[in-house]
Amino acid sequence: MDALALSDADVLAAVEEAVRAQGEDAVTLDPRVHHVPDPSFPGHFNLLRATVWPLGPSGITGVKVVGDYVENHAKGLPSELALVTLYDPQTGMPVAIVDGTEITERRTGALTALGARELGRPGSRILAHLGSRGTAFPNVTMLDGLFDFAEIRVTSRREESRRAFGERLSEALGKPVQVTETIEEAVIGADIVVEATRLERPDPILRNDWLTTCSLLIPYGTMSTLELDVLDAFDKVVVDDWGQCGNDDPFGALRPQVRAGLLTAETLHAELGAIVAGRAPGRESDGERIVFWHRGLATTDVAVAWRAVERARAEGIGTTLRYRS
């Protein structure tokens, strides 16, 4: 993956292709499932599975296994480590094994950016980003590529991580990045708020009265940080896939609202795929306030991994393994 050096444009194009295919009913997508090896320590695995039919000669099926371990920083490891395996959906033959850690980070940033492209208010000037997990960096860089923010504010729970995150972003973007000690300082006055925190249990630490200027809220933290009635102040809720947002797994930023019946298939505005495919409207006025909740699409993992495989074949990068004689 390092040698391929996929650009942000490469990743965003692959993600957009997968999301549009979903909106055109050209994918087979299963809700993710979880495996908890031992409840006594904070960590679990997510298993994501999908087929994207427009890819390859006859579609590409993929399975991603990604660990989610909030204390990995103490061991010098990313919190999310992943592998993606690709298959021929017509025969079941394995096609490739791809490092999925970078894919997870960058396809998440691209999905955040794609949602903001369709749902963000033009001219948004201030971004607040909560959390400095691996997916945080491409969130900010890809969003800034769209909006060229006048002000970027970031915060996270641990001081050393938020300081390092801010410095890395400032160097990459060539502009100042404000590192705040509190969520309140980051969020008040922001146009776009991205919540990518890593709580071990739900806790409403992001208050409604701090969000009065927020025209686009993008929460995808593992556990909810939002107050239960947060949706009352917003005009639309868009998700990446209602099949996994609407089920009753234990994780997800709007899980309490789903369980309380405050977000249902009937009150949902649309899936992002329907908007990208032109089947539903996105933002319809500057005054709208929109929530975009994404849980992570297996289709985007498949699409980015397949783009990597195609590039690797073209450039002679990678190792061929014998599977069966």
Contact 113, 145 (CB under 8 A): yes
Helix/strand/coil for 134: coil
Picking from 227, 233, 192, the residue whose alpha carbon sits closest to that of residue 207 is 227
pTM over 0.75: yes
DSSP codes joined into one string, 33-77: EEE-S-TTSSEEEEEEEEEETTSTTT-EEEEEEEEEETTGGGGT-
> Is the distance from CB of 200 to CB of 178 less than 8 angstroms?
no
The letter for the amino acid at 4 is L
* 60-74 per-position pLDDT tens digit: 999 999 998 988 888
* CA dist., res. 7 & res. 278, Å (int): 26
pLDDT of residue 316: 96
- The domains found in the chain, sorted by start residue, are 8-103+299-315 (3.30.1780.10), 107-296 (3.40.50.720)
In this predicted structure, the answer to whether residue 249 has a pLDDT above a threshold of 90 is no
Confidence band of 325 (pLDDT split at 50, 70, 90): low
With vertex at residue 133, the alpha carbon angle to CA 129 and CA 138, rounded to the nearest 5 degrees, is 65
**Summary mean pLDDT of the chain:** 95
Distance between CA atoms of 289 and 232, rounded to whole angstroms?
10
Distance CA(167)–CA(186), nearest Å, equals 16
Q: Residue 205's pLDDT band (boundaries 50, 70, 90)?
A: very high
